[in-house]
Chain A
Amino acid sequence: MAVIAVYNIKGGVGKTATSVNLAYLSADSGKKTLLCDMDPQGSASYYFRIKAPKKFNADKLLKGGKGIAKNIRGTDYSGLDLLPADFTYRNLDLALDDFKKSTQRINKILTPLLKEYDTIFLDCPPNITLLSENIFNAADILLIPFIPTTLSLLSFQQLLNFFKKTGIDRKKLYVFFSMVEKRKRMHLDMMTRFQGRKRVLKQSIPFLADVEKMGLFRKPVLEIAPNSPASRSYRLLWHEVEKAASKK
């Protein structure tokens, strides 16, 4: 039973593709899985063709309990449910500030859901706010897709410092290289530098057109092209993540 958050302060690094495909694989392996779309852009929800119900909003989310359960939707894939995002999520950090123990609120609302689901994925928005801090506290695993460039490294250092300052356990962090283009020298150099380091996963996800097609077909890539290199990469990635999660 684990909460896996897919996070990066930068946008466009493959967070949603990762959340969607790993959640799909988790459900496919027999684990009852919930994907929570925490990004007001609602990309994960879009991929699953699910809109947030009219009455659902950020306040209902933070209230927890039945308010959340009523708004969970079954995806087209057996064992995989989705809590869709709502545009009011753009003010989640403000709303969180009103709560006592404002950094533990998300943890609190997720706890009862762990009785119903084996794995909960959180697709996070690209920023660092009170919501992010909540997610850092709630997650058992913080999975970070990382495009292997210099600027990425910089923002990763920032994140490590933030963890040190707030006392969050670094052992939650797992980094993997995302949207890798092996023909780019910088990518190769960066990956070589980090090969074998403790919090860096072995499997990387290449930049592939099939993954971009997810927006076209509105399906996980494993349903669009199950035998493609993209699907193979995600399966291997899931294998590593699953192992890490079982140790928590």
Chain B
Amino acid sequence: MQPLQLLAWHLPEDLDPQGLQHALADSFNFKSDTVKKSICRWFDTFDWRIFRSNHILTREGSDWVLKDLHGNERHRLRGGRKLFRFAGDFPDSPLREKLQQILSVRALIELGVAEIHTTRLHILNQDKKTVALLELQEIVDRQHERQLVTVRLQEIRGYDKWLKRITKHLKGLGIHKKIQPVDTLEFILEGSDRKLLDYTSGYNVTLEPEMKSRDAVIRIYRFLLAGIQKNEQGVINDIDSEFLHDLRVAVRRTRSALTLIKDVLDPDIEKHFKKEFKYIGGITGSVRDLDVYLLSRNTYSAQLPERLRNGLEYFFDDLANRRRQEQRKMVRAMRSARYRKILADWDKILSSDSELASGKYSNVPIIDLAGKSIHKRFRKVLHDGKKIHGHSPDEELHRLRIECKKLRYSLEFFSSLYDQEHMKQFIKQLKMLQDNLGDFNDLSVQQSMLADLLSRIKPGTVKSRELSASIGGLMTSLFLRHRKVRARFEQTFAHFSRKKNLELYHALFDR
């Protein structure tokens, strides 16, 4: 069956809701319901995941409603008084399932709130049957004394001819400017300090090949600094784990650029800020490590029999406590004079035009530096990777992982200077190698966490014996997976360093 139409228009300035009702009464019979008032709140993650998945999430009264961008309701859930932040907070429902897909680990942030005054008119035929629903909606932003008035027409199955008649009549009254849910969202955002899609994580800086290196790196550093600044408040307010993650990635990229693209700014400045950003990486490290452990909480719990889950809970509760302490420490450090000075000074350097901040390569075209930097990193990866064999210590794979990251960062920094299709392909090839090394690292980290957990279990009870046995079981399965991933390394690396990729590399970077 066809979905029912829901049409919506702006109410033009020269018409008010009363005036519209009078105008309609001349041509249609209708009965009106009493005006309904409700509070509506709009939500999305910091990086607009819901909007980017083509949905809009609101809370109308105590109902959570997920609509698509055409205004069709996809899911509705009657909620209680609690405001849910994470997908897992929602009661088990189709809405929760959908949100889990979209949100992953991110939290919902309230984008704005408004009062909605709805007057519903039932348009009636001769038999007094309702053949269409016309709603006049005033969306009132009390705080800023603004409002948006819309006219919505809901089709009733089997009465599409009426829909057409009424639409035509409304057009005659000057009501024809369509409105979409995104317009309402933008109206709400106008009263806030945010704009639609004002943040996405990920690196996106375009450079021109003949740009002076100095201008190019400043553009890169500015982008990364903005990333740090945008995420700061979310980190301090501890909204979700991704603020810290994104902030740390921006810091890591900054450090990487300072190392990879040397002597473009004054070398003393580069050296100084390398150290200072390392400090920032340092003060944020423990919280991130604990976040990563805590994110695995549900996965491990699900792999243990129910009666043993309590033991695991104590361990994770302990981690959560430690995280709270580390979070407080980190926030203190982020509010400290040193931290503020680092970012203020860096901002100043990136804004100054003066020759102070330049090194010997500052006027060299960026394309030259780019090639050199990428080449250096690529050779290191090939060289170190080739040396690894079946009996090499794990440490060598961890080091190679870092080298691959450096190569990846330099590819990303300069990606806009090269052929996009080929660059995409090459990065895809590198990603396969990085995934193998990343899994390897991840499994190592998980095994040490479990070993740590094992060492903290107080022995002596039946439960503690069983918990230890289960942990041992988990460790074994991780160990086996770890071995499998390790065994795949040689093949994965051989694939990465094969002739086809080397040709691709040369096609991309030889001038």
Contact = CB atoms under 8 A, between A and B. Distances in A.
Interface in A43-86: 48-51, 53, 69-74, 76, 81
- What is the interface of chain A mostly: helix, strand, loop, or mixed? loop
B158 A49 contact: no
Interface stretch (B125-133, B277-285, B350-358): B125-133
B1 A49 contact: no
A81 B127 CA distance: 17
- What is the interface of chain B mostly: helix, strand, loop, or mixed? loop
B156 interface: yes
Interface-central residue, B4, B128, B157, by most chain A CB under 10 Å: B157
B1 A73 contact: no
Given A73-B158, A74-B158, A116 B1 contact: yes
B129 A76 contact: yes
A172 B416 CA distance: 70
Given A72-B1, A76-B122, A81 B157 contact: yes
Interface in B160-185: none
A178 to B, nearest CB: 27
Nearest to B2: A69
Interface residues of B, number: 12
B28 interface: no
A74 B157 contact: yes
Given A69-B1, A116-B1, A74 B128 contact: no
Nearest to A76: B130
Given A69-B1, A116-B1, A49 B157 contact: no
Nearest to B160: A70
A152 B4 CA distance: 44
B159 interface: yes
Contacts of B156: 73-74
Nearest to B130: A76
Interface string A74-102: 10100001000000000000000000000
A72 B130 CA distance: 15
Contact of A51 (B1, B127, B130, B157): B127
A247 B127 CA distance: 39
A71 B1 CA distance: 11
Nearest to A50: B129
B127 A73 contact: no
Contacts of A218: 128
Given A49-B127, A49-B128, A51-B127, A71 B158 contact: yes
Contacts of B129: 48-50, 76
B74 to A, nearest CB: 15
Contacts of A116: 1
A177 B345 CA distance: 86
Contact of B157 (A48, A53, A72): A72
A69 B3 CA distance: 12
Contacts of A49: 125, 127-129
Interface-central residue, A70, A74, A81, A218, by most chain B CB under 10 Å: A74
A219 to B, nearest CB: 10
Nearest to A69: B1
Contacts of B130: 76
A53 B159 CA distance: 10
18 contacts: A48-B129, A49-B125, A49-B127, A49-B128, A49-B129, A50-B129, A51-B127, A53-B158, A69-B1, A70-B158, A72-B1, A72-B157, A72-B158, A73-B156, A74-B4, A74-B156, A74-B159, A218-B128
The 4 lowest CB-CB distance pairs between A and B, nearest first, are A73-B158, A74-B157, A49-B129, A74-B156
Given A53-B158, A73-B158, A76-B130, 16 more contacts: A48-B129, A49-B125, A49-B127, A49-B128, A49-B129, A50-B129, A70-B158, A73-B156, A73-B157, A74-B4, A74-B157, A74-B158, A74-B159, A76-B122, A116-B1, A218-B128
